[in-house]
Chain A
Amino acid sequence: QKEVEQNSGPLSVPEGAIASLNCTYSDRGSQSFFWYRQYSGKSPELIMSIYSNGDKEDGRFTAQLNKASQYVSLLIRDSQPSDSATYLCAVAGGDYGQNFVFGPGTRLSVLP
């Protein structure tokens, strides 16, 4: 059973702080890793993809991947109240990366 775990929430941070979201996965053959943001009642929105060990930065978001530790994280700098949402970690494997497994999500609240 391929599993993806995320730190249990809710996670509350003050506006302007760094929010750190963590994810671990069980399948060592996983090839690609994604972070989705889901606002309440809405569908998930892809915000970051990462495939190689190390850091990947996009604006206020930084994804970090460590395949040896089977760990992927998302840092949100200068957190804004509009970042308040549930963040889903997804891990993909298979010949075409088609076998997606989603984590349960971490709910983030950014307090003004």
Chain B
Amino acid sequence: EAGVTQSPTHLIKTRGQQATLRCSPISGHTSVYWYQQALGLGLQFLLWYDEGEERNRGNFPPRFSGRQFPNYSSELNVNALELEDSALYLCASSFRGQPYNEQFFGPGTRLTVL
């Protein structure tokens, strides 16, 4: 069974640009979560999508947005990039119907803002 996939692996942008990150969940999983992990820091919850809708978002500005497609894949968009957006962006998927909602992570996209 294929795991969570993310693309691209690395992304280099300059301040003010936009970045788009993509995630494909494990087959059968309907929920996608996005997290930001800045260097040396913990995981910060960004967004949760389930069945095509945004269900919850963390304490991030509106320039962080995303969507979930009918096939449950998801993309994260970051507008007006700032230097402090440089981080590892992690996507995780789960199946909301399972009792305990284990989340499985993809390999991440490392975003560097210059």
A joins B in a complex: yes
Interface residues of A (CB under 8 A from B): 31-32, 34, 36, 42-46, 49, 51, 88, 90, 92, 96-105
Chain A residue numbers with a CB within 8 Å of B33 are 100
Contact call B31/A98, Cβ cutoff below 8 A:
yes
Question: Of A42, A51, A88, A103, which is within 8 A of B100 by CB?
Answer: A51
| CB nearest to A103 among chain B residues | B42
Q: How far is the CA of A36 from the CA of B105 in the complex (A)?
A: 10
Contact call A43/B55, Cβ cutoff below 8 A:
no
Chain B residue numbers with a CB within 8 Å of A105 are 42
Contact call B102/A49, Cβ cutoff below 8 A:
yes
A53 to chain B, nearest CB (A): 15
Chain B residue numbers with a CB within 8 Å of A44 are 43, 90, 105
Q: Does B7 sit at the interface, judged by CB under 8 A?
A: no
Q: Does B75 sit at the interface, judged by CB under 8 A?
A: no
A63 to chain B, nearest CB (A): 13
